[in-house]
Structure formats: structure tokens, C-alpha cells
Copies of this chain bind each other. A is one copy, B any other.
Amino acid sequence: MYSVTAKNSPELHDGQPIYGPADSVASLSGKDAFANLGNLIAFEAKQSLFWEGDAAEYIYKVMRGVICLYKLLPDGRRQVARFCCAGDLLGLGQRATFQYTADTVTPVTLLRIRRADLEVELESNTCLRNELLAAVSDELRAAQDQLVLLGRKSAIERVASFIEAMAEQTLRRGGDARTVDLPMTRVDIADYLGLTHETVCRAFSQLKAQRILDIHDHHVVEIRQRDTLADIAAGDSAERLCA
């Protein structure tokens, strides 16, 4: 489980900390097409990696921990676009600047790859090219699902969808599908789901009251009725299930 409450060590801010270079990645991820292109760097929780509009000199691969990508409106309203976990790539796209701001949610280890180096490698490396296209395509598909969630789902449906998605991710990483780790705060979740943190809270409470969830810790929930949760998440017969 993640240590969410790690403090902002003043001596380690804004990405200075550097691990051993290049090939020490192998120990973390097995063989990785990206490993020999970049360096590992580490960040504490709750730090900024980059801001929307920054020159995108690097792209990143998350090796460990969770990162939150978001955009801000002028008056401070925030929309979280994505939570990036181990294996995810950040900073793709062909723009010279980042399209969103990135903060760490937990302590994080990143593989940092110079964009220019990547582009050279892409010329010859078909496998890498495919992996990259797959990453962008997956990101697009996830964004389209999120459009449906934000445009058409109710608060309870959004929260149920989120928990289900996090559970699936846990499962893919070989974890227990019933115990779900939620390292981010309620505010982060709210900004991801287009709700307020109070509304997210009430949805959690409601799912707990209906015995669909158990909430051990604020950041660890257990799914007790996976089918019902899935039905709510899918937007199916909400009136019956949420009565």
C-alpha cells in the first residue's frame, strides 16, 4: 500500500533527486524497450513534475507510485484527466509543450527520456513505435469512457465506475480484486469525476450503507458486492439499485 502522507521534504523538491542511471531499470520492470533511453528520477508525494504549457523536453514512464494529471480553469476549477500508475507513459503527443499539469500523489520513481532521443530511436525501432501508438490509443479510449462518465452519469454512478476501474487495475497487477487501494485524496477523486469532495464522500457513505463497500481506511476499500457495483457503474437500472 502507498504511504500517502509522506511529507514534502524540503531538501527534495522539484525533481532534483536522481537515482542510478539507465540500466538499473531492469530490476524494476524486467526488460523494457524504454529502459536504455533514459534515467531514473524519484519524487516525494505532493510535488509538481511540470505545468501545463511547459516546454516538453522529456517524456516519462512511471515505474512506481501514482501521478495526477490535470488542467485548471482561470478561476481555479480543476479537472483531473488521469491518474498515472506504474507502466504508464506521460507527455506523449506531438506538441512542444505539456498539455496538463502533473503532481505526484504518492512517492514516485520515473524513467525520464529525452524526447529527441526517443524520436531517433523510433525511426528504427518498430516495436517501440507500436508500443507508443498503443499507449496513445489506450489513453484515447480511456478519455472517451471518461467523457461518458462526466457527461451522462450520476454522482453515485461516477464513484462506482471509479472504484470498479481501480479494482480492475489492481487485478491486472496481480492483486486481490476485492481490496482496492485509493492513494489519492477525496478532492483528487472529486476533480477526476467532476464532482465536489462532499458529493464523493456522500457516495462512498451511501455505497457503504448499502453494504456494497466496506471502508477500512480512507484509502483502502473492500468490494462486497461486485455485481451490484458493476451494475451501478454501467448506469443500468439506477433507480432500482440506488433506491
Contact = CB atoms under 8 A, between A and B. Distances in A.
Interface of A: 71, 73-75, 77-79, 81, 92-95, 99-100, 129, 132-134, 136-137, 139-141, 143-144, 146-148, 150-153, 191, 193-194, 234-238
Given A75-B235, A79-B151, 4 more contacts: A71-B147, A73-B236, A74-B234, A143-B144
A186 B78 CA distance: 28
12 contacts: A73-B153, A74-B235, A78-B152, A79-B147, A79-B152, A81-B147, A93-B137, A99-B144, A133-B136, A146-B147, A147-B150, A150-B150
B94 A134 contact: yes
B144 A100 contact: yes
Given A133-B133, A235-B77, A236-B74, A93 B140 contact: yes
Contact of A136 (B81, B136, B146): B136
Contacts of A144: 71, 81, 99-100, 143
A79 B143 CA distance: 13
Contacts of A71: 144, 147-148
Contacts of A146: 147
Contacts of A194: 150-152
Contacts of A94: 133-134, 137
Nearest to A71: B148
